[in-house]
Amino acid sequence: MSRLSGRPEGSASAPPPGGGEPSRLGAAVWICAVQFFVMQAVVQSAWTTPFSLRENFISDLGNTACGPYPAGSASYVCSPWHAAMNLSFFVQGWIILVGGALLWRAFPPERLRALGMALLATAGPGLMLVGLYAENENLPPHKLGAGLQFVLGNLGIALLGVLLARRGGKPLLGAFSVLCGLVGVVATGLLVTDRFLGLGVGGMERFAAYPLPLWLMAVGWSFLRRGSAVP
């Protein structure tokens, strides 16, 4: 016992449940996922040719050449600030990984946490591949990276949503998480089977890609504002 405080020695330095300051820092890192949307708007503004949210892929913003893409198509792609978009993809991958490492203890300690976080983590290197390999330069690793986000990343946030709702004391955030994950996975299935439901290929791709960064921002804000998810 400390003679001055009457508390067990070392108790003042013991970390609070849920990770304390590392969790808050991780939440702030995930909020930075907003850069993904900001950079798309900035890079899109540099286009002198028409850009369509309905018909253009997000990756068209990172295309390094000017001309028809895919080759022989009527779609003309020319993104003067493609380097900024590819950097944004790469940074987004780091945001997922660094924030996830810092926020690990903010989720209830169950097996579902390990599985959900592992699936989410695959989206990190996936987005790095998207940024490193532009669609027009090396499509196979580009598509692999996008697939890791669209499929495994969205599955991961759905599982973490179940955990938040069941054990984390955040039923609304949990429901939002499950919804985001399911929308992303279903949209991915529709995208790869060329069923765009009137949204166009670009619109459906965004339904597959956007749930994850939106989820990062929402969870980051919730954890930063209210603290750990652990009751």
Question: In this predicted model, which residue has the larger pLDDT, 2 or 122?
Answer: 122
The neighbour count for residue 178, using CB atoms within 10 Å, is 18
Asked if the peptide bond before residue 70 counts as cis, ω within 30 degrees of 0, the response is yes
Residue 15 lies in a domain: no
Question: What confidence score (pLDDT) does residue 227 get?
Answer: 55
**pLDDT tens digits, 148-190:** 999 999 999 999 999 999 876 788 999 999 999 999 999 999 9
Q: What is the pLDDT of residue 20?
A: 64
Confidence of residue 29 (pLDDT cuts 50, 70, 90): very high
pLDDT tens digits, one per residue of 53-111: 999 999 999 999 999 988 878 889 999 999 999 999 999 999 999 999 999 888 888 88
What b/e string do you get for 105-129 counting C-beta neighbours within 10 Å, with b at 16 or more? bbbbeeebbeebbebbbbbbbbbbb
| Residue 193 in domain | yes
Total count of domains within the chain: 1
Q: Would residue 4 count as lying in a domain?
A: no
Q: Is residue 102 part of a domain?
A: yes
* CA 41 – CA 200 distance, rounded (Å): 19
Residue 11 lies in a domain: no
Decide if 5 is inside a domain.
no
Alpha-carbon distance values, 116 to 104, 214, 229 (Å): 11, 17, 15
Domain assignment of residue 162, yes or no:
yes
Domain that holds residue 170: 20-226
In a domain, 6, yes or no: no
Cα–Cα distances in angstroms (integers) from residue 91 to residues 95, 150, 157, 207, in the given order: 6, 17, 19, 21
